[in-house]
Structure 1
């Protein structure tokens, strides 16, 4: 049994908030205790404020703006009691960071600006040396506010980038599943049409023309073998990386036409595309369009001849499949694969038209870019 894939572990947000709250309370308490006149300035009330600043952090996710406003007001109230200086920005760092992290950057900048402005004003008009504004105080407050805002924004952008990458990976996986589904539809539908046709031939020839019956059964065997081969290839792609080997390209069109020829359909192939000119995705899509078109001719057209033309015209790949059958009619329904071909071509930046040909019969025309980046 294979080992389960490793699942990325993430820290519980509640644990993060508790740790941040404890750190906030501890830092403010340490700054209070470090005051040279802590005995006079730092009483139980100062440490209660330190605990309060930390406790507010626990509500930061539910009400980041409220936490910020209450923290700023709490800083002002703290200083009205003339407790030990702790700086204006330091007690609000966690609240400012939280507001910026939770998409309230304007509030974070505004709260920090209020603290810096009030600090600067009172330091400017203060009468004591302790209250006098120094360049160090101003730079420290501005740096703390700027760092808290920048860190909050950086964490938010990093988280959003991870979410975007996860969504992009899911979209790539879904696109790959859709491609595989289309390929299975094209391959199995084509081969089953060949099998059904030759089975009918064999049933009619048994007892009258045993050689023809054996030949028809041989074609059935080849088509069955091809289907099994494609299924095994698809399973290998599913088990391997998403960007696995590309399906067959235009080089396989001649081989694709052989079962139709063996069924009595005259298939003319005019392939004029220089090797290496096409992207792998364009090359594979062109092959699948020819395959689906031939399948539809075998199923619905009652045709005797089909012409396949693939050429480069004016920097575009132009693919035409036309037959001399019954043309557009009630048999042409969405399930016939026309809508699937149209969707495939549109995803690659091209266009597909399908309908009655001017001289009778049915025609499919696909116009595709040569490369996905051009």
Structure 2
């Protein structure tokens, strides 16, 4: 279920409760007091309770049961006992109030049966023919609510297991990067130093080349350590935690402006991670390739259930920001979350825009 529209589900359930009760009331079966505005208002009131079923399931259950007793005390047309309370029983069971649901169902049944038997109704009809459908409907409502809750809990457990597995995989990758690539780069840097010291004073060109190798390996080691740190991080990647990415741009001398108007938990986990990685790749491209750029802007908003993310710089239309595997990787991440990526040169600089369902 879409977490952004629970009110719509509650509204539809409330309409179903109100509509079914109004239809039964209109049939005018039993009771000495014919249906009037108050009877239909009672039906609407039970439907309106569905808007509180998630936050106050026990209160909804109690008010529904007491409202049913009050309705029959006014001697309005019969509406049964299962139909008015089925939605409340379902809601309480869905919220994990299984004991209260069963207790309320048993209490409503007991009061109804006792009243009808004391009134002199036929025992065989009340306990035989009429009791079975009420019990079946109440049991079905409770079972449906509890089953839905169980499936949600199972999915949550599966997500936790998947997150744990992903973390273990990240740690394994981090170890491999550190132990293999990190060691190799360190050896290259060490031998570059040795070779430079062994060169004579006339080998200026070779010394410059070795110095560049030394600088490149140092930069690579810094990037590698940063990547390993991200892989080892327990906190999930999120647009609300962009500081490591933005600080890297600041330390490289860029002015960074960030406006992330996205509250924590607004984005689905997959979209949140994809957006983070796209910002990371785009900012890294600016730092590495945007010759002449001095500013990076990162702006994110969520409107009508869609994320719009923009990363821009003020560099000239040159460098490798519009080509290469980095841009292709960003486009693949966008497509994986059913979004779209646009990257283009503008007179003001280079702009990367992601649009995706939140």
TM-score with structure 2 setting the length: 0.52
- Structure index of larger Rg: 1
- Which residue pairs with 1:133 in the alignment? 126
1:50 is aligned to 2:43: yes
Distance 1:206 1:84 in 2: 105
How far 1:41 sits from its partner (Å)? 3.4
Distance 1:40 1:162 in 2: 49
Distance 2:108 2:32 in 1: 26
The answer to whether the 8 A contact 2:14-2:49 is kept is: yes
How far 1:169 sits from its partner (Å)? 2.7
Distance 1:77 1:131 in 2: 26
After superposition, where does 1:1-374 map in structure 2 within 5 Å?
Answer: 9-10=2-3, 12-36=5-29, 41-128=34-121, 133-203=126-196, 205-206=198-199
Q: Compared with structure 1, are the counterparts of its residues 134 and 146 closer, same or farther at alpha carbon in structure 2 (3 Å cutoff)?
A: same
Distance 1:75 1:131 in 2: 24
How far 1:162 sits from its partner (Å)? 2.5
Q: CA RMSD, aligned part only?
A: 3.4
TM-score with structure 1 setting the length: 0.50
Q: Compared with structure 1, are the counterparts of its residues 125 and 17 closer, same or farther at alpha carbon in structure 2 (3 Å cutoff)?
A: same
1:107-165 per-residue CA deviation (whole Å, 9 max, x = no partner) reads 11111110111122223333245995141221112112111111111111222222233
Distance 2:2 2:84 in 1: 31
The alignment partner of 1:182 has SS state of helix
Specify every segment of 5 or more residues in structure 2 that has no aligned partner in the other structure, as ranges: 201-205, 232-358
Distance 2:173 2:115 in 1: 70
Distance 2:114 2:73 in 1: 15
How far 1:104 sits from its partner (Å)? 1.1
- Which residue pairs with 2:244 in the alignment? none
Deviating 4+ runs (over 3 angstroms): 8-11, 35-41, 128-132, 196-207
How far 1:64 sits from its partner (Å)? 1.0
Q: Compared with structure 1, are the counterparts of its residues 134 and 33 closer, same or farther at alpha carbon in structure 2 (3 Å cutoff)?
A: farther
How far 1:50 sits from its partner (Å)? 1.1
Specify every segment of 5 or more residues in structure 1 that has no aligned partner in the other structure, as ranges: 1-7, 208-212, 239-374
Distance 2:172 2:135 in 1: 54
Distance 2:80 2:130 in 1: 8
Q: How many residues align?
A: 212
Distance 2:67 2:32 in 1: 22
Distance 1:161 1:142 in 2: 28
Distance 1:114 1:167 in 2: 39
Q: Compared with structure 1, are the counterparts of its residues 32 and 38 closer, same or farther at alpha carbon in structure 2 (3 Å cutoff)?
A: farther
